[in-house]
């Protein structure tokens, strides 16, 4: 991996891609998220972390307009997300939800082609530009040899790369992902995270993702947002805020910190408080 968030620690004034200000989300008369504020910097990776049920996915879905905003504002490039037209918004932001589903007989290429929907009219056919973006997305995710395979025949890691390729075909400025490594073994988790890190570095793609693995947040993210019980606990540079104290106070876990000979830091959970 060429470069890490450690070597790219932000300097100077951050340029916001997404700003969340005083956000509250109420679903079925229950407040899930209450008065949270944070920023996702342009061209960086932001990880949203916290215990189960703390409002991570709810917040992500509010950013992409799946969940309603009950109070506060969310802006994308300085503009309220509610002011964008449907296709205009989809040209700027793509989202991969948890465990997305596709028709059983869909090929990888057909799935990636679905990412071009914001650029087509209702009866629009695939254009040369569409094909170029589809080919590019397949190449970026190393899926060219698999493009005619049925999606359901792929491994979990290959399928996740196919969904990421579909999102890339939208040519978005922002990619949101809800727990993209869930249900993957450790090698495929690393494969997906390294892919996202490379896309961020090489394309300048802004990435906002929900993560459960705190060590992945430390290793790959430039910024972390910590939620607990629907409120913001802290936000900042992952290596500054994700530590033994955070695991104790937010996750009720006793942990120790270890550093490898190459300088990679990891938190080792040992017991519950």
Q: Report how many domains make up the chain.
A: 2
Would residue 10 count as lying in a domain? no
Which sign does the torsion angle of CA 242, 248, 252, 254 carry? positive
Would residue 51 count as lying in a domain? yes
Q: What is the pLDDT of residues 82-114, one digit of tens each?
A: 999 999 999 999 999 998 999 989 999 999 999
**Closest alpha carbon to 232 in 81, 76, 74, 49:** 49
**Residue 234's domain is classified under what CATH number?**
3.40.50.300
Same domain flag for 89 and 171: yes
**How crowded is residue 60: how many other Cβ atoms within 10 Å of its Cβ?**
22
Which sign does the torsion angle of CA 199, 205, 210, 212 carry? positive
Q: What is the pLDDT of residues 202-220, one digit of tens each?
A: 999 999 999 999 999 999 9
Whether pLDDT at 48 is above 80: yes
Buried-state track 185-203, b at ≥16 Cβ within 10 A, e below 16: eeebbbbbbebbbebbeee
Q: What is the CA radius of gyration of the chain?
A: 19
Residues 6+ apart with CB under 8 A from 125: none
Same domain flag for 142 and 72: yes
Mean pLDDT of the chain: 95
Would residue 7 count as lying in a domain? no
Whether pLDDT at 1 is above 50: no
Same domain flag for 174 and 253: no
Would residue 192 count as lying in a domain? yes
Domain that holds residue 272: 243-273
Same domain flag for 190 and 266: no
Q: What is the pLDDT of residues 213-250, one digit of tens each?
A: 999 999 999 999 999 999 999 999 999 999 999 999 99
Whether pLDDT at 124 is above 80: no
């Amino acid at each position: 991996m060429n470069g890490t968030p450690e070597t790219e620690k932000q300097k100077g004034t951050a340029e916001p891609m997404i700003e969340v200000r005083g956000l509250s989300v109420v679903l079925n008369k229950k407040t899930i998220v209450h008065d949270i504020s944070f920023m996702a910097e342009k061209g960086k990776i932001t990880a949203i972390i916290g215990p189960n049920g703390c409002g991570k996915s709810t917040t992500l879905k509010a950013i992409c307009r799946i969940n309603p905003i009950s109070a506060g504002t969310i802006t994308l490039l300085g503009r309220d997300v509610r002011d964008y037209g449907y296709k205009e918004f989809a040209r700027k932001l793509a989202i991969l939800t948890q465990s997305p589903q596709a028709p059983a007989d869909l090929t990888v290429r057909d799935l990636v082609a679905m990412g071009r929907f914001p650029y087509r009219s209702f009866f629009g056919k695939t254009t040369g530009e569409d094909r170029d973006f589809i080919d590019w997305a397949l190449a970026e995710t190393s899926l060219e040899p698999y493009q005619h395979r049925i999606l359901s025949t792929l491994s979990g890691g290959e399928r996740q790369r196919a969904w990421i390729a579909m999102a890339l075909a939208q040519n978005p400025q922002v990619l949101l992902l809800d727990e993209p490594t869930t249900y993957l073994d450790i090698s495929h988790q690393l494969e997906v995270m390294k892919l996202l890190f490379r896309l961020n570095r090489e394309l300048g793609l802004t990435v906002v993702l929900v993560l459960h693995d705190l060590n992945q947040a430390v290793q790959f993210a430039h910024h972390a947002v910590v939620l607990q019980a629907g409120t913001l606990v802290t936000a900042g540079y992952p290596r500054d805020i994700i530590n033994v104290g955070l695991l104790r106070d937010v996750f009720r876990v006793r942990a120790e910190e270890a550093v490898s000979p190459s300088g990679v830091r990891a938190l080792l959970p040992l017991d519950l408080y």
